[in-house]
Every structure is written in C-alpha cells, then in structure tokens.
C-alpha cells in the first residue's frame, strides 16, 4: 500500500486559527467574559467559518477576504437555516466584536462588519411572575424551609435572592459567603464583564440566610468563606441544580408555564417599575450597561395596564 503523507495545514488556515486564538485570549484575559459567553462566541465564529468555507468553495480563505457583502450573505445563510432574528442579531454582534478586534490590532485595514445592519426583530416582553403567584411560591418555599433541611432552607434563600435582589443565575451561582453583608443588608455581586455592583438584601432574604447557615455548616464548609450555595458534600451548587430547584417550586405553586430563574429577575424589575421606581435606579440594581435594556420594563408595565384597561373599562 502507498503511504499518504499527512497534509500540512495551509498558510491561510493557520493564520485564521492563530487570529481566532488571539481574539479569544483578548475576550478571556482583557474583557474577562464569562465561560458561557466565550462558548457562545466560539459557536458563532465557528458558524461563520463553516459558511465562509462553503461560500468561497475552499477552506483556504483569509479574514481579509471578507467584505460587507460576504457578511450580508452570512446573515441570509442563517435566515435560510431557520434561525430566529434574535439569534441572527447575536451572531452578528459576535462577528462585529471579532472584526473590531482585528481592525484595532491592525490585522485588517478596515472593519467590514461596521455597516452591516442587524435584523430588526419583534421586541419581546419578558416573562414575569405576578404578585399573587409569587405569594404562593414563597408560601410553599417557607413551608419547605420549616422542615429545617439543607434543600428546604437553601431553596428559600435562592428564591429570596433571585426575586428580592434581582440577581442573574450566573451571579447567584458565583456568590461566596464573603459577599454577604448581613448588617448592611446588601450583597456584592460580580456581574457581566466581571463588573461589581452592590445590591440590597431584603429582610426576608436575611432571615432565610440565617436559617440556611447552620445547614450549610453541617456540610463541613467554613462559615466565613467559600461558596454560599452548596450541595451535601460542601461543593458549590451547580447552575443546573439551582434551575431545577426554582422550576420545581414555581411549578408546584402553579406560577405558570415558561417561567424560570430569569423570570424572577424580570419580576423584580417589573414590580419595581410598577411601583414607581426610578428607571435609572432599576438600571443600576440590574447591572445593565445601557438604559435601553432597562426600558423594556416600562413596556411590560404599559402592556399590563392596557390589559387591565381593556378588561375593566366598559367602553374599552
């Protein structure tokens, strides 16, 4: 048999790979993005690479070959694959960030993604849980916590922090005991982009924490340091377990279909806006970079008022 020598990767492929590695080092080390965000960026750029190989008819292409029309073709490719507009917009955002990096590092003379328009999608109102449903949720959680077990007391604390302080799942998962200031009734949170912010703790959250602390210490962890939420082995509780815990209580309390850990954060913001809270204050509490992101909660509030009006006013 004739032995076939392995094919050396082309110069173009080697350069594209090296450039991608430099970009992800930039995201991880300088921008300090979360691991799941890095995974999404990798997936989006991999899709772009797969498209370019088919588009050019060869794997031997360079990033400098890509122009605005090519990126528009990439968006059309995604649309033909049935991707939602929100997904396409996210992919374009990742591509823009990548080409902005290449241009800033003088690896490209210009940024071809700068003028590519993002697909305009419908603005979806966030799912949130109503106050009556939340009353049932917390009544059920209080009943389970009264048994004074690790899962029961932990479940109540999870709900209090998600709804009472508006935390993201990733923020709650990463919380350490040292971040909790019980005397000042506040917690230090590490949000997106590793930006720290201080958010209030409700008094009911403080009570839930006090109830949970003895059960946490029974797992053998330090009372003064380490992960806040732990499993019976004293290890940091996984995100999946947090999600399952919240979903279980919400479903048993009849809070409705499609609600999740993030629904409690949406509820936190929606109820603040409904109660007349200043939008800038809500923005800071949520850790949003842009006020435009927070303004969706004003739409949620208006939508609720419209429903009330249409169902209650005799001439509506």
Q: What are phi and psi of 188, to 5 degrees?
A: -90, 125
Closest CA relative to residue 151, chosen from 218, 204, 98, 223 = 218
State the DSSP H helix or E strand holding residue 199, giving kind and residue range, or none if neither. strand 196-200
Residue among 105, 93, 96, 106 nearest 25 (CA) = 105
Domains of the chain: 11-104 (no CATH), 131-311 (1.10.443.10)
Task: Place 300 in a pLDDT band, splitting at 50, 70 and 90.
Answer: low
Q: pTM of whole model > 0.85?
A: no
DSSP-assigned letter for residue 195: -
Our CA angle for 126, 128, 132, nearest 5°, is: 160
Which 8-state DSSP code applies to residue 30?
I
Residues 6+ apart with CB under 8 A from 73: 51, 55
Residue written as token pair 């703790």: 201
210 is catalytic: no
Residue 297 annotated as catalytic: yes
pLDDT tens track for 143-153 = 999 999 999 99
User: pLDDT tens for residues 38-79?
Assistant: 899 999 999 999 999 999 999 889 899 999 999 999 999 999
- Catalytic residue (one of 128, 168, 271, 283): 168
Of 107, 120, 88, 113, nearest to 21 by C-alpha is: 107
Q: Kindly report, residue by residue over 154-212, the tens digit of the pLDDT.
A: 999 999 999 999 999 999 999 999 999 999 999 999 988 788 999 999 999 999 999 99
**pLDDT exceeds cutoff 70 at 92:** yes
Q: Residue 289 and residue 272: Cα distance in Å, rounded?
A: 18
* Options 207, 236, 288, 304, the catalytic residue: 288
309 is annotated as an active-site residue: no
Q: Which of 154, 265, 266, 283 is catalytic?
A: 265
Catalytic residue among 192, 207, 236, 247: 192
Q: For residue 8, what pLDDT band results from cuts at 50, 70 and 90?
A: very low
Q: What is the pLDDT of residue 216?
A: 97
Residue tagged active-site, from 103, 262, 299, 304: 262
pLDDT of residue 2: 41
Spatial CB neighbours of 48, under 8 Å, sequence gap ≥ 6: 74, 91, 95
Q: Is there a catalytic annotation at residue 168?
A: yes
């Amino acid at each position: 048999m004739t032995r076939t020598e392995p094919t050396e990767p082309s110069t173009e492929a080697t350069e594209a790979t090296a450039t991608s590695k430099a970009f992800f080092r930039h995201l991880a080390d300088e921008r300090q993005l979360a691991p799941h965000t890095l995974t999404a960026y990798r997936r989006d750029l991999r899709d772009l690479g797969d498209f370019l190989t088919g588009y050019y008819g060869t794997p031997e292409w360079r990033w400098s070959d890509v122009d605005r029309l090519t990126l528009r073709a990439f968006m059309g490719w995604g649309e033909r694959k049935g991707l939602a507009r929100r997904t396409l917009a996210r992919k374009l955002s990742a591509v823009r960030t990548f080409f902005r990096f290449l241009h800033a590092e003088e690896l490209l003379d210009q940024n071809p993604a700068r003028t590519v328009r993002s697909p305009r999608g419908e603005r979806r109102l966030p799912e949130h849980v109503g106050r009556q449903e939340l009353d049932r949720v917390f009544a059920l959680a209080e009943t389970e916590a009264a048994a004074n077990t690790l899962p029961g007391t932990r479940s109540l604390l999870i709900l209090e922090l998600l709804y009472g302080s508006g935390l993201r799942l990733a923020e709650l998962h990463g919380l350490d005991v040292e971040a909790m200031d019980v005397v000042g009734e506040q917690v230090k949170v590490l949000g997106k982009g590793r930006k720290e912010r201080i958010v209030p703790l409700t008094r009911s959250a403080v009570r839930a924490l006090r109830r949970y602390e003895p059960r946490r210490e029974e797992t053998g962890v330090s009372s003064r340091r380490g992960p806040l939420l732990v499993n019976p082995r004293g290890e940091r509780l996984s995100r999946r377990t947090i999600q399952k815990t919240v979903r279980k209580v919400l479903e048993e309390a009849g809070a409705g279909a499609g609600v999740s850990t993030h629904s409690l954060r949406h509820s936190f913001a929606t109820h603040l806006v409904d109660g007349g809270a200043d939008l800038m204050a809500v923005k800071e509490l949520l850790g949003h970079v842009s006020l435009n992101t927070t303004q969706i909660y004003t739409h949620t509030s208006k939508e609720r008022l419209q429903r009330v009006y249409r169902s209650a006013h005799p001439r509506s």
